[in-house]
Amino acid sequence: MNLLFIGDIVGEPGRRAVRQLLPGLRSKFALDLVIANGENSAGGSGITVNTANEIFAAGVDIMTTGDHLWDQKEVTILLQTEARFLRPLNYPAGVMGQGSTVCHSENHPPVGVLNLQGRTFMPPLENPFLCGKTEVEHLRKITKIIFVDMHAEATSEKIALARMLDGRVSAVVGTHTHVQTADEQIFPGGTAYLSDAGFTGPHDSVLGREIEPIIERFRSNTPQKFDVAKGRILLQGAVIEIDEATGRALNIRRVSEPLAENA
Ligand SMILES: [Fe+2]
Ligand SMILES: [Fe+2]
């Protein structure tokens, strides 16, 4: 089976890219399942019910998130009612929402999806290595096909987590830095890996935001308003081919698909 993972969708340009480019990618790669990180989909910060629904309607099956989860108040509605919506698993016990799910469909075996968040240069959640390993073993009682979104800043933390899970999950792909890395590979145990999927939105920017206010923030150390940028929209992520019988990854390729200027 073929799975597309879409890196952080940033604002309206990011949602437009998913809407307009996903149908073409679906036929080009014969996609069976689409997972997307939506943590920046509402104006670049957080996610609302409407933006989530727009992304699901565009063909995304499961949505993951990260440290921008709480930026929009109404995310609590999604956390409490939306079965296709994940938050990082490693919040303390009792926090609303879910960190993993199993996606069932008629055309392919069940697919487990797990969302974790790193702790290096990030808010201190529970240990993703301990929570993640336990959750993967729990998911493997249902299916061998498991995808992990590791939302983290440090490449060492992402690689270490993926190496720990090698042979136990089909793929670990990182998000959060918004910069697509070129280290896609399949580890010896059969786990596909990419340190960061990149982001889906305007790349004539600093990580999706207008350039000048960010320069001014760094130059002057004063707060600035960071609007979502406009130009050079790309849909970024990775397509992973998975052996349905074993759960092993057969292939991983990066995606960086431009949206036509007038789209
Ligand atoms: Fe992000
Ligand atoms: Fe993030």
Give the ligand whose atoms come closest to the C-alpha of residue 8. Answer: 1
Distance between Cα 199 and ligand 1 center (Å): 7
Rounded to the nearest whole angstrom, what is the distance from the C-alpha of residue 66 to the centroid of ligand 2? 5
Q: Both tokens of residue 250?
A: 């057969």
Answer yes or no: is pLDDT of 48 > 70.
yes
pTM, two decimals, is 0.97
pLDDT tens readout for residues 49-77: 999 999 999 999 999 999 999 999 999 99
Distance 153 CA to ligand 2 centre (A): 8
Q: Residue 234 to residues 48, 116, 208, 238, 256: CA-CA distances in angstroms?
A: 22, 25, 10, 13, 6
Whether the per-residue pLDDT at 102 is higher than 80: the answer is yes
Residue 25, both tokens: 């990618």
Q: Which two tokens stand for residue 243?
A: 């052996």
Smallest-distance ligand from the CA of 178: 1
261 has pLDDT over 90:
no
